[in-house]
């Protein structure tokens, strides 16, 4: 985040790198919001989601009659829409080589031509690009222009996968839960057991998977607290996916899940008691359990 704030203080192009789902789009918005261009538009385009033959017209717009199906009067593109603001080019590694050349010219000269046009159009745009691909490898394979790479990567930010920044999991989960509580008009909180489950899981789908898990839990939860079993089954243990792939039946999967769930629950109760210096009333509040449920679990796990 420190590098992101440094990037926000400048107008240079930024390249954000990281696995799918790490939150590259979220970071790009944070940079824009903290930049001097925050009052201007933030325009996003996913270069991998638009067919190659349409991507050029989406970026640069087109003139009337430039191709079959073109709108009367033409259409302005993302570069014009982002004037005096930020243009976020997601999945930049999937852009074709010919279009890369036109993009490079637009970034360097701050001018471009619409598809089918001859007039030079100026646009003052700050570029933030993102990719989950190894651009150096694509350069070696002649699939990405080296000059464009250097133009885009003036300031590099790499977002580590969520499994390598476990301290961020609870911060992000709380943030997404707050947003969902407002949307769903709820006041849910994460129980100690739910927090432990989130921290144990390895998050192969990164931030996107975390959002999915919180959304599922908000819908599933009863009462005032989200419990671990409100999350999708895979979240309950960091080993569940690997074990379920090698086990031979749904019965084995369920047995594995039940065992892991019990271990997690017992560990959560022990930690809550330690944090509250043995004060059971405080531990109950941390866990989000009823008093009768808490004492039943103490007996179940042989705890005092």
- SS3 of the chain: the string is CHHHHHHHCCCCCEEEECCCCCCHHHHHHHHHHCCCCCCCCEEEEECCCCCHHHHHHHHHCECCCCCCCCCCCCECCHHHHCCCCEEEEECHHHCCHHHHHHHHHHHHHCEECCECCCCCEECCCEEEEEECCCHHHHHHCCCCCHHHHHHHCCEEEECCCHHHCCHHHHHHHHHHHHHHHHHHCCCCEECHHHHHHHHHCCCCCHHHHHHHHHHHHHHHCCCCEECHHHCCHHHHCCCHHHHHHHCCCHHHHHHHHHHHHHHHHHHHHHHHHHHCCCCHHHHHHHHCCCHHHHHHHHHHCCCC
Q: How much is the pLDDT for 255? A: 61
Is the pLDDT assigned to residue 297 strictly greater than 80? yes
Q: Out of 61-70, 83-92, 171-180, 246-255, pick the least confident.
A: 246-255
Q: What is this structure's pTM?
A: 0.73
Is the pLDDT assigned to residue 18 strictly greater than 90? yes
Residues 256 and 244: beta-carbon distance below 8 Å: yes
Is the pLDDT assigned to residue 242 strictly greater than 50? no
More confidently predicted of 112 and 229: 112
Band (284; pLDDT cuts 50, 70, 90): confident
Q: Out of 12-21, 61-70, 227-236, 260-269, pick the least confident.
A: 260-269
- β-strands 121-122, 111-112: how paired? antiparallel
Is the pLDDT assigned to residue 244 strictly greater than 70? no
Q: How much is the pLDDT for 237? A: 58
Is the pLDDT assigned to residue 278 strictly greater than 90? no
Residue 291 burial (10 A CB sphere; 0-12, 13-18, 19+)? exposed
Q: How much is the pLDDT for 245? A: 46
Q: How much is the pLDDT for 288? A: 73
Note the pLDDT tens digit of each residue in 207-218: 999 999 999 999
Q: What is the mean pLDDT of residues 167-175?
A: 90
Q: How much is the pLDDT for 241? A: 42
Q: How much is the pLDDT for 105? A: 94
Q: How much is the pLDDT for 268? A: 76
Q: How much is the pLDDT for 252? A: 56
Note the pLDDT tens digit of each residue in 56-82: 999 999 988 777 667 787 889 999 999
More confidently predicted of 96 and 250: 96
117 vs 121: CA distance, rounded Å:
10
Q: How much is the pLDDT for 239? A: 46
218 vs 200: CA distance, rounded Å:
20
Q: How much is the pLDDT for 275? A: 80
């Amino acid at each position: 985040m420190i590098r992101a704030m440094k990037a926000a203080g400048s107008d240079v192009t930024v390249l954000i790198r990281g696995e799918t789902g790490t939150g590259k789009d979220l970071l790009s918005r944070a940079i824009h919001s903290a930049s001097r261009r925050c009052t201007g538009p933030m325009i996003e385009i996913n270069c991998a989601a638009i067919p190659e033959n349409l991507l050029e017209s989406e970026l640069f717009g087109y003139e009337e009659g430039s191709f079959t199906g073109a709108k009367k009067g033409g259409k302005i593109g993302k570069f014009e829409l982002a004037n005096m603001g930020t243009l976020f080019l997601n999945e930049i590694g999937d852009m074709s080589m010919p279009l890369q050349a036109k993009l490079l010219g637009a970034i360097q000269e701050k001018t471009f031509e619409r598809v089918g046009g001859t007039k030079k159009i100026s646009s003052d745009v700050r570029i933030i690009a993102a990719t989950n691909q190894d651009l150096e490898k694509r350069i070696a394979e002649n699939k990405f222009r080296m000059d464009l790479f250097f133009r885009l990567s003036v300031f590099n930010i790499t977002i580590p996968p969520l499994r390598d920044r476990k301290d961020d999991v609870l911060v992000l989960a709380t943030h997404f839960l707050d947003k969902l509580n407002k949307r769903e008009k709820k006041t849910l909180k994460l129980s100690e057991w739910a927090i432990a489950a989130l921290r144990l899981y390895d998050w192969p789908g990164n931030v996107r998977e975390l959002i999915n898990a919180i959304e599922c839990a908000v819908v599933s939860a009863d009462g005032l607290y989200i419990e671990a079993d409100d999350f999708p089954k895979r979240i309950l243990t960091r080993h569940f996916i690997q074990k379920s792939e090698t086990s031979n039946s749904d019965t084995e999967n369920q047995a594995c899940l039940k065992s892991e769930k019990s271990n997690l629950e017992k560990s959560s109760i022990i930690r809550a008691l330690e944090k509250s210096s043995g004060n059971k009333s405080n531990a109950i509040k941390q866990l989000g359990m009823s008093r009768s449920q808490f004492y039943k679990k103490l007996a179940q796990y042989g705890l005092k």
